[in-house]
Amino acid sequence: MRINYPSQVVAPDITDEGAIRSALQNGYDWRTVRMGDGPRVRLLTYRTSGTGAPPVIQVGRLLHDQDRVLSQFLMGLLIVGGSISILLGVTSWWLSGRSLRPAQRAWEQQQVFVSNASHELRTPLTLIRATADLRSAEPGGCQ
């Protein structure tokens, strides 16, 4: 006797020969099968004993609800994972820019120092060179 509840979907009769062979050999078989039109069914096949009983009993449950919950979970996981990845990317870009500012400032200060040092060294060298050129140009100067 089958009781039908209005909110419950009743699975059609399914006979899986591979599950029957396995149950007859091992005592039971537990597998997921796909029906011809697409829905998946979790199928338990159990070997019976006794006279007048069928050799096996197969009980199945539609996995439609589990598949729907799983797809919703995966969609949520993709949305949350994508959002977190974007947030981490923006945050790391901001932090890397912030951490490079002191190095950039130090580089600029080094450039200013090198420029000033080069200027300070060039001025006396120019005077010494001009004096040396003047002396070598005078008659009787060093040759």
Model confidence at 140: pLDDT above 70: no
Strand partners, 61: 42
Band of the pLDDT at 49, cuts 50, 70, 90? Answer: confident
Q: What are phi and psi of 31, to 5 degrees?
A: -150, 165
In the prediction, which pLDDT does 109 show?
A: 95
pTM: 0.50
In the prediction, which pLDDT does 17 show?
A: 86
Burial 78-113 (b: 16+ CB within 10 A, else e): eeeeeeeeeeeeeeeeeeeeeeeeeeeeeeeeeeee
Averaged pLDDT, 87-93: 96
| Residue recorded with tokens 């010494």 | 128
Band of the pLDDT at 105, cuts 50, 70, 90? Answer: very high
Averaged pLDDT, 65-92: 96
User: What's the rounded Cα separation, in Å, for the pair 136 and 139?
Assistant: 8
Band of the pLDDT at 3, cuts 50, 70, 90? Answer: low
